[in-house]
Structure 1
């Protein structure tokens, strides 16, 4: 099935209808999404997350604050190869902003995930019932999104996320 992003509402609309939990599972070592290209280039040039980068992230950070403020628990788990890629070092450098906004983040080195059955795509699972799969091309560019509400698939994704979460290292303890 090809992803049909035109029928998938923006993430902000999906999370606005979320009441309890929003979990994000990331499985790639590199993303090539256009919305991050300027930030990534700045980080490669300076080695820092610049004030301008923080401002470009403000809509996301505000969404996290608002969502967490409504009582929704937001968790993100990243499965990463080690040693980590340049992109993962960039992500790690800015993750403190997500944490400060209220998101809980853990990192799992890929060898620790070898015995886990994981979905074939990144995903957001909202309230344990609605999955928003993210599909990417080999170069990391976004191909599209797909919604799935199949209870069996939601359970499989929830179980996979929880296993990654249990094994994951809290952001504050994970070094790159």
Structure 2
């Protein structure tokens, strides 16, 4: 795992596109989620309080002309974690990422990859592995053209059916 480049390095090398598929309803917890659970909300006017290096990496890629897209396949009614993700997606959008949501019920006839991933320029894929309860396990890099094409095609089908963030209503 240590030989796999960090996300920022992979994104910095992207020239045209970076697409991200998320398929889980629960991910590992983190302090920002826990704070949100306690009722605290982000002051979106105070960018310094929520802007992270990740957001800058996205903004830099978008400024270079990289199309950064994220599709989330979610069960409805959504979990509390997904409710929080929907709330904090404001930061992704501010960085220039485009985000869409696909209710799992609307994906029955699609073949979905079983792991979350990023695909860079349709050639390199970083696969994320999680435990059943959402804890991060590890990542792997795949450059097999058949695997990357299969997952890229699945992403495009999901993207085409998914609902833009500003139109998706949490249920």
Normalised by the length of structure 2, the TM-score is 0.94
Structure-2 separation of matches of 1:79 and 1:66: 26
C-alpha offsets along residues 77-136 of structure 1, whole Å, 9 cap, x if unaligned? Answer: 000000000000000001011111100000000011111111110000000000000000
Q: 1:22 aligns with which of 8, 18, 34?
A: 18
Structure-2 separation of matches of 1:99 and 1:120: 25
- Aligned pairs for 1:138-153 within 5 A: 138-153=132-147
Structure-1 separation of matches of 2:122 and 2:49: 31
- Aligned pairs for 1:154-169 within 5 A: 154-169=148-163
Moved over 6 A (4+): 51-54
Aligned to 1:68: 62
C-alpha offsets along residues 149-174 of structure 1, whole Å, 9 cap, x if unaligned? Answer: 01111110111000100110000001
- Aligned pairs for 1:16-95 within 5 A: 16-32=12-28, 37-46=30-39, 48-50=41-43, 55=49, 57-95=51-89
- Which structure carries more helix by proportion? 1
Structure-1 separation of matches of 2:142 and 2:95: 28
Aligned residues: 169
Structure 2 alignment gaps of length 5 or more:
none
Normalised by the length of structure 1, the TM-score is 0.91
- Report the aligned-residue RMSD: 1.6
